[in-house]
Amino acid sequence: MLVSVLLMIALASAEPSVYFREQFEDDAWNSRWVESSHRSDYGKFVLTAGKFYGDAEKDKGLQTSQDAHFYSSSARFDPFSNQGKTLVIQFTVKHEQNIDCGGGYIKLFPADLDQADMHGDSNYNIMFGPDICGPATKKVHVIINYKGKNHLIRKDIRCKDDEYTHLYTLILNPDNTYEVKIDNKKVESGSLEEDWDILPPKKVKDPEAVKPDNWDERERMEDPDDKKPEDWDRPENIADPDAKKPEDWDDEMDGEWEPPMVSNPDYKGEWKPRKIDNPDYKGKWLHPEIDNPDYSADSEIYRFDSIGVIGLDLWQVKSGTVFDNFLITDDATLAEEVGSETWGQTKVSGTHLSGSHLHIHTGVSLESHSPPTSSLAICSKMLCLNKSTSLLSDPYEDIFVTLPTSTLQTVKMLIPAVC
C-alpha cells in the first residue's frame, strides 16, 4: 500500500506544470489581457487570424492594428518560482505586414507588476523574441534580469523576417544552461554564465604585473652586419644626356639653358639593411591574470523567485503582427508537442511567383496584391487564375480564395513550371 502511495506521489510530481496558456479560443480574452493606461496613445490590439491563415479560428491572436504606435498589454497568472525547475517560454509571431521596424517579443514580469501602469521601464524578468528594424537588425532578443540589471545575450541569433507564422521557444534549465528554438528546431544553446555578462569575469589582469623593460617582442630585426654598398647612392633624377640645346635658344633672352631631367636608371632607392630572425625574440608579452576578487559563482542565475505576468510591450512602425499560442511551462517536451499540435498543424508556408506577387499558401488560402504582368495562369480542374479572372478585378485590394487541400497540392506541383 505504501509503495503504491509513493508511486502515485512520484507520478504526480512528474506531471508537467503549465503556468500559462493562451490560444484565444473564447471571447473572454479581453478580461484576461489588460491594456496599460500609462500612456494615452497606446496602439490597440485586435483579435484576428490576419489576412491569411491555416485555420480561421485556431489562428486567431492579438494583432497590432495601428501604424507608428507603442503597444502595452499583459495577462496575469498564478505566480510561481522556477527554482530547481526548467522554465519554458513559447509563442508564435506572424509579421504578415512584411514588418520594416518593430518588436515581436514578450516580457515576463514579477507578480507585483501593476498591469494598468506597465510601460517600457517596468522591471521585468525576461525579454524574449524577435526584433526587426531595417536590414541591420533582425535578431532574437534574450535579455535576462539579474539582481535588478538587464543583461543582453552576447550571441547574435537571427530571427525569421518573412510574413509567415513562426514558433519561438526559450528554455532555461536549472543547471544554468539555455536553448533557443525557432519552429521547434534548436538555433542556439549554451551557458548563461558564458553567453551573458551577468557575472564578473573569473580572471582579471594582475595590476602588479608590468612588462619587463628588456622584453623583446620583435620577431625580425635589421642585420647589424649588413652594410650599404659604396656605390648605392645615386640621384633619383638626372639631366637627360641626349637632350640638345635648341639652335634658336638665346641665353640673353631665354636664360641659361638646362637639359630636362629624366629618371636615373641607376637609382636604387633608399637603402635598408636586410631582416634576420631576432635571437632575443621572446614572443608577445601576455599580461598575467589572477583570480578576480569580485567574482562569486552563482549556480542559480536561471532562477526567478516571482513570475506572474506575461506582457507585450513594444513599438511598431508598420502594424499587423499577430501573437498567438502563448505557453509557459516547466517541460520542454510538452512545449515541443504543443508547438507541433498548434503551429505545426496550422502553419502557413508559401511560394512567390516572380513578377506577380502571387502567394500560394499550403492548407488554406491564396493571396494576390497585384495581377500578373502577363497572362500567367495556374490551372487545374478546380482552379484557373489569370489577368481576366474576376478575383483580380481590383489589383490594389488583397484577395483571398479558400481552396481545398487537394487543389492546393495540384497548384504546388505546377509552381516550378510557371516560376
Q: What are the angstrom distances between the C-alpha of 237 and each of 84, 229, 246?
A: 83, 20, 22
CA-closest candidate to residue 88, choices 152, 168, 32, 185: 168
Contact yes or no for 378/411 (Cβ under 8 A): yes
Give the side-chain half-sphere CA count within 13 A for 237.
Answer: 5
313 is in an annotated binding site: yes
Q: What are the angstrom distances between the C-alpha of 35 and each of 312, 320, 364?
A: 10, 18, 32
In angstroms, the CA 135 to CA 95 distance is 15
107 is in an annotated binding site: yes
58 is in an annotated binding site: yes
186 is in an annotated binding site: no
42 is in an annotated binding site: no
In angstroms, the CA 381 to CA 358 distance is 19
Amino acid identity of residue 345, one-letter, is Q
In angstroms, the CA 404 to CA 410 distance is 10
The grid coordinates of residue 306 equal 516571482
Residue 261's CB is within 10 A of a number of other CB atoms, namely: 13
In angstroms, the CA 247 to CA 241 distance is 17
324 is in an annotated binding site: yes
3-state secondary structure 93-120: EEECCCCCEEECCEEEECCCCCHHHCCC
147 is in an annotated binding site: no
275 is in an annotated binding site: no
The grid coordinates of residue 108 equal 515576463
In eight-state DSSP terms, residue 64 is E
164 is in an annotated binding site: no
Residue 353 zone, left/alpha/beta (φ > 0; ψ -120 to 50; rest): beta
Instruction: Output the known binding site for an alpha-D-glucoside.
Output: 105, 107, 124, 131, 313
Instruction: Output the known binding site for Ca(2+).
Output: 23, 58, 60, 324
Instruction: Output the known binding site.
Output: 23, 58, 60, 105, 107, 124, 131, 313, 324
